[in-house]
Amino acid sequence: MKNLLLAGSLLTLAAFSLPKLPVPTKRTAATDPNTTAEVPQDHKLVIYQLMTRLFGNKVALNKPYGTIGENGCGKFNDVTDKALDEIKKLGVSHVWYTGVIEHATMTDYTAAGIPADDADVVKGRAGSPYAIRDYYDVDPDLAVVVKNRMPEYEALIKRTHDHGLKVLMDFIPNHVARSYKSDAKPQGVVDLGAQDDKTRAFAPNNNFYYLPGKSFVVPTGYNPLGPLKGPREDGKYTETPAKATGNDVFSEAPSINDWFETTKLNYGVDYQNGRKNYFETVPDTWKKMRDILVYWAGKNVDGFRCDVAEMVPVEFWAYVIPEVKKVRPDIVFIAEAYNPKEYKTYLDKGKFDYLYDKVGLYDGLRKLMRQESGTEEITRVWKEESNGFSSRMLRFLENHDEQRIASKDFATDPRRAIPAMAVTATLASGPVMLYMGQELGEPARGSEGFSGEDGRTTIFDYWGVPEHQKWLNQGKFDGAKLSPEQKSLRDFYARLLTMASTSEAIRKGRFYELQDANNLGKEFNQRHLYAYLRFTDKQKLLVVVNFSADKTYKPVISLPAEAIAAVGLSTKKFYTYTNLLADEEPRNALNLTLAPLSAYIFEIKPR
């Protein structure tokens, strides 16, 4: 530590001739506690998650439990050329169209040949986009002309590609709607469950799990539409024998808190007998899901976000991902994952390209944004949890499952995202994701219907997203109705994500943390401030953020000798430091004034 402090005192990176530094301690990247031996890989996808049902909706009524006619619904066609232009200006490379595949709903499409659903097993007027009713079809809500729903989606894929953007969509492998039946399956495809032996609770080639001799029971007290009456709502749903519920509940009477609207798919694991697996021959469900993925890959989508991927055996992914990549070698697979102990397994054995980093960096930054912890949360993630594969962890601060930053349930002030998003986008060279409305400070106010006042934007109800609609501006996508504060926030996101997507140091540079070198500095409060370097031979960046909501700090950033040697700086040269997140003149020293909730990314160049 004494050597580190000495080095730091000798190099404050000020604009004057510096004495020769002490010889750096003989450390390698593997032994230096401020960095890792990981060689970063360039995986800097910038993903814009777009809830298709909500994105283009111009209706602002927002009536709780409102119908599609009352509250409106966005369409594939609402994602216009102008919208895609504006999304791309955020630095985005991929658009994740969420909620595309046909799912159970209370909206009646029998006139279009789509059977009606029973409200007793549907969550929300619009229905959950994760209760799939037909893997081979798209949601009729999203079409201007229902019979043309697939051509309209195909046109959106082409339109997105024409703007130099790639397309991601959901793949939901673990469960389907209780009403699952494919009407759009290609000729020759045998439907899920069509050949199951329903007299057996488990059979290796059954597609579902059964409870022989028992009938499904709708959870007591389920009230699908609150004060209103849902279609066919009577507290009953005919399913004999009952099937196991999607969240691994093997009971004919799941609780109201279970995923009771879904049924669990059987991948050859006998859950009720010690989870014994039967993988000697490829289970039928594996083959059917492979065919579904190949079908969508044939529509020229560029990747899949795989819902609750850890609830499906890793052996299935090890089989199916290479199978799909035989058809589309460049297609990407992203796992929604929550178990750090299994990360390496799903990356190495399971062949996933990327995993969610929710329980690591997201949860740590959430605590920081709520002033519940210090920056040691970030250190733990890079040093322990994702060490060795940080380039393959997808980082985010919002998605459809999580609370909005600006909500009263999370951080209230959307500016609290500024330091956290800077870290999210630049800590490593892996993907980063933005959820529609996040860049505008959408607070998710209101009780939409099935979704109560919970800080989240509904995925179950027809709804307009108010702050997003100000940017949408009746389809002009010009942000004319945004406040100056919202325009400033969106500008920050655009600068940050564009920089992250174009900077060599962020895309593939090494990492060096500067907390130890600065923790004794009078103005460096390690609980609130976080600093690190990202660098290649060609580009050197210094990232400094202040998580405090009310405290301004004025530190002078010091570098240890090991960092100087690693980065390739010279004590015999003068340097300038240009903040890439603002229109500022280059500075000649790093005597900083860090305002509350601020982020700075300095490019270090010889003068």
pTM: 0.95
The residue to which tokens 């099937």 are assigned: 243
> What pLDDT does residue 29 have?
54
Phi, psi of 389 (to 5 degrees): -145, 30
> What pLDDT does residue 1 have?
32
Rounded to whole angstroms, how far apart are CA atoms 461 and 51? 12
Query: By C-alpha distance, which of 427, 542, 556, 520 is closest to 4?
Result: 520
Q: What is the DSSP code string of 172-217? A: --SEEETT---SSPPTTPPPTTTT--TTSS--TT-SB-EETT----
Sign, Cα dihedral of 506, 512, 518, 524: positive
Model pLDDT for residues 372-385, shown as the tens digit of each residue: 999 999 999 999 99
Query: Contact at 8 Å (CB) between 388 and 424?
Result: no
> What pLDDT does residue 5 have?
30
AA letter at 462: Y
In the predicted structure, residue 416 carries a pLDDT above the cut 70: yes
Report the phi/psi class of residue 256: left, alpha or beta, with left for phi > 0 and alpha for psi in -120 to 50. Answer: alpha
Q: How confident is the model at residue 35 (pLDDT cuts 50, 70, 90)?
A: very high
> What pLDDT does residue 571 have?
85
Q: How confident is the model at residue 23 (pLDDT cuts 50, 70, 90)?
A: very low
> What pLDDT does residue 185 have?
98
Query: By C-alpha distance, which of 390, 436, 396, 391 is closest to 90?
Result: 436
Model pLDDT for residues 224-241, shown as the tens digit of each residue: 999 999 999 999 999 999
Q: Which residues contact 461 (CB under 8 A, 6 or more apart)?
A: 65, 66, 71, 124, 125, 126, 448, 449, 450, 451
Model pLDDT for residues 160-189, shown as the tens digit of each residue: 999 999 999 999 999 999 999 999 999 999
31-35, 263-267, 286-290, 599-603, range with the lowest pLDDT: 31-35
> What pLDDT does residue 575 have?
94
Query: Contact at 8 Å (CB) between 382 and 429?
Result: no
Helix, strand, or coil (residue 163): coil
In the predicted structure, residue 251 carries a pLDDT above the cut 50: yes
Query: By C-alpha distance, which of 280, 297, 290 is closest to 312?
Result: 290
> What pLDDT does residue 78 have?
98
Rounded to whole angstroms, how far apart are CA atoms 517 and 562? 10
Query: By C-alpha distance, which of 385, 361, 540, 445 is closest to 38?
Result: 385
| Percentage of the chain lying above the pLDDT 70 cut | 95
In the predicted structure, residue 330 carries a pLDDT above the cut 80: yes
Average pLDDT of span 191-213: 98
Helix, strand, or coil (residue 263): strand
In the predicted structure, residue 19 carries a pLDDT above the cut 80: no
In the predicted structure, residue 598 carries a pLDDT above the cut 80: yes
Among 15-29, 265-279, 560-574, the range with the most confident prediction by mean pLDDT is 265-279
How high is the mean pLDDT of the chain?
94
Query: By C-alpha distance, which of 10, 192, 225 is closest to 123?
Result: 225
| Percentage of the chain lying above the pLDDT 90 cut | 94
In the predicted structure, residue 7 carries a pLDDT above the cut 70: no
In the predicted structure, residue 2 carries a pLDDT above the cut 60: no
Strand 46-51 to 94-98 pairing: parallel
Q: How confident is the model at residue 31 (pLDDT cuts 50, 70, 90)?
A: confident
> What pLDDT does residue 30 have?
56
Average pLDDT of span 331-335: 98
In the predicted structure, residue 9 carries a pLDDT above the cut 70: no
In the predicted structure, residue 15 carries a pLDDT above the cut 90: no
